[in-house]
Structures are given as C-alpha cells and as structure tokens.
C-alpha cells in the first residue's frame, strides 16, 4: 500500500512530550505531524495534572467558605455554603477545552500539523492512522517519535469501569464525578490518591486511604510527609497503612491489614497505585526495540535502538512527569534537526499538590547519606515566615504555617545538592529550587541573594543561612 503522505517527523501522541516535540520541530523548519485520537494535551491536560489542580482549587475555596460560615476567623460572613460538583466539573472542562485549543494553536503557529486518529506502526518509517472520521491514512516518515504516555495500573479484583460495577474509579473517572460520594475508599497513598482524596474530603466525602506501605507518600522522607499526615487527620481522613485491598464487597472495599480482614465502607473506590508505560496496542512490537524493563530504552538524545526512531516521556522511564516529557520533546526535535542537544538534567523538580504542598529537587539528607556525601542541612520553619503567617493556618490558611524549607549542601564546598519544602504555596518555589541545583549554586550564593519581603521565597535564603550557621529570623 502506497503512503498517502510523507513527512519528516511523525509523532505518536499529543501529550506534553509529543506536542512540544511537534512545536519545536516546526520551529526548526521540519515538516512534522502529531497523531492522537484524543484532544491535544494528553493525560496531563485532559485527565491529569490540569483538571486535578482545578478540582483541588475548588475544594480549597469551598473549605474556606465552610470555615467562614462557622468560626469566621477572617471576619467574613458567609451563610450556608454548598457545592455543586457538576458545575465544578463544567468549569474544569472549560479550562481544559481552552488549553486544548491553545495547544492546537501553538502547533499550527509553528507549522506543525495534527492528524486526529489512532496510530498503528507498520515499520520504522510507516504508520497507519485510523482517523476519527472513519478513514485510514498511511503516513511515511523519515523520523518516528513515540510519545504514547502511560495508563493507570489496574488491580486484580478491582477492575475499572463497568467490570467493577461502576464503583471502581481511576483518576480519570474521579475527575468527572458529578456528585460527591458519601464514602470513598482510596487505594494507594501516593501523590495522585492523596491529592484527589484530600480534595473530595474537603468537598464533604468521608475518605479512607488504604496504603500497602508503612506510611503515606513513602518515596518522600518523613519530615516532608508529617505535615500532610497531620492535615489528613484534621480533615477526618482515615489512613490505613500496611493494608492491602482485597476486592469489592456489597458494602465497600475488602482489605487485609495488620489486624486481619476488614471492610471499608465505600460507595466508590478510587484506585491510584501507579501508572504503566503505554507500549502495547499500536504495533510497537513490530520494531523490536531494546527495552529497559517495561520502558523503551533511549540514550541522552531520546534515540532508541533503531535508527531514526525516538521515544520521549512516560514510555522511557521514571519520573513520569509532564515537565520531563516536555524537555525530552524539545531535545528530540533539536537532535533530529542536527543540533547538539542532550537530555542531561542535574535534577528534575517533583511536586505533590496535597495540603500542604510538597516540592523536592535533588537529594534529601537521607539520599545524600546513601551516596556517602558529607552534607550540611539548613531548615527554616514557615511558622517564622511573615508571608506564611498572613496566609493563616487551619482551613482558611491551607496549612500556611505548617512546614519548612530545607537546603542540603556538601559540607566541603557548600554546593547545593538538594532543596525541599512542605507548606502552603511552596510549589511555586520549584523554579528557584531547580535553578539553584541546575546552575551549581552554593549556600553563599543563595544567602547573599536579596529575596523580596514579605514572600515565602525568603525562606529559601533563610534555609541556606541556617545551613551556614547564621539564620537571621530563627
């Protein structure tokens, strides 16, 4: 079958990695096409990062309204606040729709095109696309970029959708709920489960978190997760650790814990135990690529084991983060264009949008110790930060004063190897944290930089000064 079209770059997947690769390829003068059967933006924009943050914001606003209607700590009078989740979802969908259109516009502006449909790889230079209008296109390409993303992991005995009697939800379905469940069980105490579980608890759901490990957010150190655990208790969220989900019952979720079998009352069960790379269902096996476990093996340019076949984003390994995929997409486009590009970050920021928020870049103290690094650590409490105090505490403050900013640096030359924070609005420190680590800043560089007052960012300078032994405001 002859090709209907020939392009220089064909990208399978319109998520953060795929669409950025398409934009950058177009900017570099390459004839590029992005193929996806979903609206542009992938999981992150459509059913992940963006809609979840919209839901979290709505939940935070509702929690504040409820508090003002009762104790009114800010002196604001509110009566009988209520939440219409269907309207919240409609508002969220409006944001997503505008961003979908924005991404499509950026691709068009760069000269890249979009084919709406599902790709199936024929070989390393040929892809068939079953378009959304019912036709089939065969597209030949000089360079093939795989950016298919990932899917939520399904547990045995807890199938998503109709197979789970409509009671078992992935994060995708949870973001489209039109009514707040009276009782919700969340299987998995990682960042996705806690973000959505916290939001639904604030909206009025009775939430139980079931975590197989000994504590929530086990990939983060205890100092960072303790304020999150404290706030979950304040919200009435029950956390069952060392406990595994065993399946559905008529009344809820069967679990196996330290005290034996039990049933968690729940009309619906949200399963958030991780994501797996999407490497099946589109003909990838035809290429015989070298794999790294379940992921596609790539080099620092995103090149796979087959000439002119590239891969980016979640299919290439951890961390499965949108901003990692975006940078990889940029690198791959530049590499295809013949530029000396490489994906070699010093560190990649990670954020948990719980209440309070967590942000990390680089090594925490325990990780540094595991690498036999002798470090100094500076910790500055947000309770001593004036801006954090003005944001309040409890519901109206969203944990403004709970938390800290921490700097980890080598003891010999004070090179910063890691920065972490937990507290309200600390996600916005991720840019400063990432820049400091990427540029090889030292404690003195941060401490000597004038930080605006009053801001939470001042706590970064104070943490550096604390590591040097002379913090000013504690």
Is the CA virtual torsion 441, 443, 447, 452 positive or negative?
positive
Q: How far apart are alpha carbons 285 and 330 in whole angstroms?
A: 26
Contact between 464 and 378 (Cβ < 8 Å) = yes
180: Cα separation from own chain's centroid = 23
Is the CA virtual torsion 289, 290, 291, 297 positive or negative?
negative
Q: How far apart are alpha carbons 441 and 464 in whole angstroms?
A: 11
Q: In what order do the strands lie in the sheet with 252-257?
A: 244-248, 252-257, 260-265
DSSP strand pairing (5-12 vs 136-146): parallel
DSSP labels, 321-379: -HHHHHHHHHHHHHHHTT-------S---EEE-SSSEEEEEE--HHHHHHTT--EEEEE
Catalytic residue (one of 183, 286, 451, 453): 453
Q: How many residues does the chain have?
A: 474
Could you give the 3-state DSSP secondary structure of residue 68?
helix
Contact between 443 and 416 (Cβ < 8 Å) = yes
Is the CA virtual torsion 450, 455, 457, 458 positive or negative?
positive
Instruction: Name the strand (E) or helix (H) holding 128.
Output: strand 126-131
Q: How far apart are alpha carbons 384 and 465 in whole angstroms?
A: 14
Please confirm, yes or no, whether 143 is among the known catalytic residues: no
Q: How far apart are alpha carbons 397 and 391 in whole angstroms?
A: 5
Q: How far apart are alpha carbons 229 and 239 in whole angstroms?
A: 9
List, in sequence order, every residue forming a beta bridge with 403; answer none if it has no partner: none
> Residue 315: what are its φ and ψ, rounded to 5°?
-70, -10
Residues taking part in catalysis: 453
């Amino acid at each position: 079958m002859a090709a209907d079209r020939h392009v220089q770059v064909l990208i399978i997947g319109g998520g953060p990695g795929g669409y950025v690769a398409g934009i950058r390829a177009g900017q570099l003068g390459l004839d590029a096409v992005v193929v996806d059967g979903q609206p542009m933006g992938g999981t992150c924009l459509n059913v992940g990062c963006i809609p979840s943050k919209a839901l979290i914001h709505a939940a935070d606003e509702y929690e504040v309204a409820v508090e003002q209607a009762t104790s009114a700590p800010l002196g604001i009078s509110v009566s009988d606040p209520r939440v219409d989740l269907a309207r919240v979802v409609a508002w969220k969908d409006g944001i997503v729709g505008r961003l979908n259109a924005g991404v499509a516009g950026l691709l068009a502006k760069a000269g890249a095109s979009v084919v709406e449909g599902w790709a199936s790889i024929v070989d390393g230079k040929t892809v068939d696309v079953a378009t959304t209008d019912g036709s089939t296109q065969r597209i030949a390409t000089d360079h093939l970029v795989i950016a298919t993303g990932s899917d939520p992991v399904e547990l045995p005995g807890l199938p998503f959708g109709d197979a789970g009697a409509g009671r078992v939800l992935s994060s995708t379905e949870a973001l489209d709920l039109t009514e707040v469940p009276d009782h919700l069980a969340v299987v998995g105490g990682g960042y996705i489960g806690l973000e959505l579980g916290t939001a639904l608890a604030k909206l009025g759901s009775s939430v139980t978190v079931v975590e197989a490990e000994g504590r929530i957010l086990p990939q983060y150190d205890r100092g960072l997760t303790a304020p999150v655990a404290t706030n979950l208790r304040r919200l009435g969220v029950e956390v069952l650790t060392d406990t595994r989900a065993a399946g559905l019952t008529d009344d809820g979720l069967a679990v196996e814990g330290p005290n034996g079998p039990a049933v968690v009352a729940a009309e619906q069960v949200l399963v958030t135990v991780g994501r797996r790379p999407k490497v099946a269902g589109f003909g990838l096996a035809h290429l015989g690529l070298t794999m790294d476990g379940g992921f596609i093996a790539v080099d620092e340019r995103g090149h796979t084991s087959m000439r002119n076949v590239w891969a980016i984003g979640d299919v290439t390994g951890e961390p499965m983060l949108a901003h990692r995929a975006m940078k990889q997409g940029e690198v791959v486009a530049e590499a295809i264009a013949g530029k000396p590009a490489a994906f070699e970050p010093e560190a990649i920021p990670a954020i948990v949008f719980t209440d309070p928020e967590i942000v990390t870049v680089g090594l925490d103290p325990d990780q540094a110790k595991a690498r036999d690094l002798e470090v100094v650590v500076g910790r500055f409490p947000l309770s001593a930060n004036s801006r954090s105090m003005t944001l309040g505490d409890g519901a109206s403050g969203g944990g403004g004063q709970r938390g800290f900013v921490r700097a980890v640096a080598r003891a010999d030359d004070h090179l910063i190897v890691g920065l972490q924070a937990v507290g309200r609005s600390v996600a916005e420190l991720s840019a400063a944290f990432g820049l400091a680590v990427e540029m090889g800043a030292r404690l003195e560089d941060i401490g000597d930089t004038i930080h605006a007052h009053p801001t939470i960012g001042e706590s970064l300078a104070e943490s550096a000064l604390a590591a040097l032994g002379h913090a000013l405001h504690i």
